[in-house]
Chain A
Amino acid sequence: GDSVTQMEGPVTLSEEAFLTINCTYTATGYPSLFWYVQYPGEGLQLLLKATKADDKGSNKGFEATYRKETTSFHLEKGSVQVSDSAVYFCALPSLIQGAQKLVFGQGTRLTINP
């Protein structure tokens, strides 16, 4: 079945460091791909998305490119801030029993130190 694999965390960086969180997927066809972010004490919210191969999603300085050759959707940011501390989830939609659900990676906890 469809699945998502994220790099294991936790990840701890200093402010202004470069961030990469790896995400690879297994899926039938070419689904949309998503990154969600969960700030402390809150639910998940969409960070960015890409709907087809070679698309780049971007938001709040974060970017991710849909690479069908490597089945990857790695999240990057050039200069992280303390406010980026959160848990990040990679996800894709999957058709199960005629209904669409989202399949999530296990999440990567990011902590940014000042």
Chain B
Amino acid sequence: DVKVTQSSRYLVKRTGEKVFLECVQDMDHENMFWYRQDPGLGLRLIYFSYDVKMKEKGDIPEGYSVSREKKERFSLILESASTNQTSMYLCATVLPNTEAFFGQGTRLTVV
């Protein structure tokens, strides 16, 4: 089974801090994704990557950046955390035209 692991289940950070959310997958997949999930809005794509050092903006990239130095690791970076970035963050890897595999999610609270 594919395993996608996010480094933290819960995080509390202060406004203005730089925040790193880490995601590791063990199946050598090329495509990796970061979504945020908010009530009533479903899942919104922040960034995705289809290869090492490659990244593409999703639907809501503002305030975020990503890093993909190794195939198995895809990091989401909040350059200067703000309260409106309080959310659930979900990492996923997807095989072409097949299912996605998700991490357990990181619930981030910015105070």
User: Chain A residues in contact with chain B, CB under 8 A?
Assistant: 31-32, 34, 36, 41-46, 49, 89, 91, 93, 96-102, 104-107
Contact = CB atoms under 8 A, between A and B. Distances in A.
Per DSSP, chain B at the interface is strand
Given A42-B104, A43-B105, A101 B42 contact: no
A49 B43 CA distance: 19
B48 interface: yes
B31 A89 contact: no
A98 B94 CA distance: 14
Contacts, number: 64
Contacts of A96: 56
A43 B42 CA distance: 13
B102 A45 contact: yes
A12 B43 CA distance: 22
B90 A97 contact: no
A89 B43 contact: yes
Nearest to A93: B97
B102 A107 contact: no
A97 B31 CA distance: 13
B45 interface: yes
B42 A107 contact: yes
Interface in B25-73: 31, 33, 35, 37, 40-43, 45, 48, 50, 56, 58
B100 A102 contact: yes
A98 B54 CA distance: 12
